[in-house]
A and B are shown apart, each in its own frame.
Chain A
Amino acid sequence: MQNPDTLIAILSCGLATWLLRVVPIVLVKRMTIPAWLLHFLNFVPVAILSAIFVENLLVIHVGHWPSVNWPNLFASLPAIGIAIITKSLFAVVVAGVASMAVLRLLGWA
């Protein structure tokens, strides 16, 4: 594909992403948010982060049950342990990467 076409694609997709990011924030700013919505939104952080995490633990087969992404699951366990012990985001990232490196070194992932 030539650069002009690619640029049009990038600009269109950039606009779509920008609208998704900005329109809700503008709408909420303009109106008074009903109590039930605030209440609902309170649960979004934990719920959405859980969903993103679980997606990484699954291997998706459309139309069938997902299987487990074992390397990711095994590397997650030390990361969760370190999270509980240290409460440090940095330590969790290092522990997770080190665990995955060890799994690969052992040929298990």
Chain B
Amino acid sequence: MNDELTIRSGIHDVMPTVFGYITVGMAYGIVAKTGHLSLLMIGLMSLIVYAGSVQFVLVSMLAAGSPVGAMVISTALINARMSLMSMTVAPYLKDESMTQNVLIGTLLTDESFALSMNKLNYTDHHLNAPWFHTVNVGAYLVWFVASLLGAVIGGMIPNPDNFGLDFAVVAMFIGLLYLQMITDRSKPFLRHLSVAGVVAAAMVVLVRYLPGTTAIIVATVIGCLFGMGVEHHAKS
């Protein structure tokens, strides 16, 4: 990663995450095909809903004939964390027009969010539309193609899990988390680590009572409040 905010650097920066999009996208295609969704619907869901875990849930809910309202509520709960990310990205895009902001928000993902947060540590806390669109659209197209590929050839290839490919996404989050901790120099590494520790402890307790995706949001808020408290204490 460097300080350039261009289409070229966007392509370079999104490359390492492509693995994750391909494996999860294909897995979704395979699962959706098994769930008897047509190729058209499989593709449309990737283009219109465009949210990894939500799409798996929707496939099973569609197969079970769940009411649309229940599907919308599940989608909103699983994806509520996107709001937190969208809000976090926004201050860095103040100079871009409203249209650009809406377009960037439309294709924001966990991964493009994390990449942008890494990126601004190299760019003196600036982000722009060309770089962000490149990362977003790159991920979007790879996701779409991978899901169709999974649906078409899924049954013909051996189980990708055997090659450990399902772990690509987790590994990607590990990399993005560590890089964020060392490149965000506005806080000492140990403070990042302590926030991560508090979030981890919160997760272990919260998943007793909440679904995983809701626990993620609550644990994030607890971690942020803890971070603010520690920083306040350090300053005073």
Contact = CB atoms under 8 A, between A and B. Distances in A.
Contact of B167 (A44, A60, A72): A72
Interface of A: 1, 3, 5-14, 16-18, 20-29, 33, 36, 38-56, 58, 60, 62-66, 72, 75-76, 79-80, 83-84, 87-90, 92-93, 95-104
A89 B171 CA distance: 9
Interface stretch (B2-10, B16-24, B138-146, B147-155): B16-24
B31 interface: no
Interface residues of B, number: 101
B200 A46 contact: no
- Residues of B contacting A: mostly: helix
Contacts of A100: 164, 166-167
Nearest to B225: A40
B105 A21 contact: yes
A46 B50 contact: no
B182 interface: yes
A3 B72 contact: no
Given A51-B223, A54-B200, A58-B203, A9 B58 contact: yes
B83 A24 contact: yes
- Residues of A contacting B: mostly: helix
A49 B85 CA distance: 11
Contact of A92 (B80, B102, B175): B175
A45 B87 CA distance: 11
A56 B169 CA distance: 10
Nearest to A72: B170
Given A20-B83, A93-B172, A39 B166 contact: no
B65 A51 contact: no
A75 B164 contact: yes
Contacts of B40: 3
B215 interface: yes
Interface in B95-143: 98, 101-102, 104-106, 108, 110, 113-114, 117
Interface in B193-236: 195-196, 199-200, 202-204, 207-209, 211-212, 215-217, 219-221, 223-225, 227-228, 231
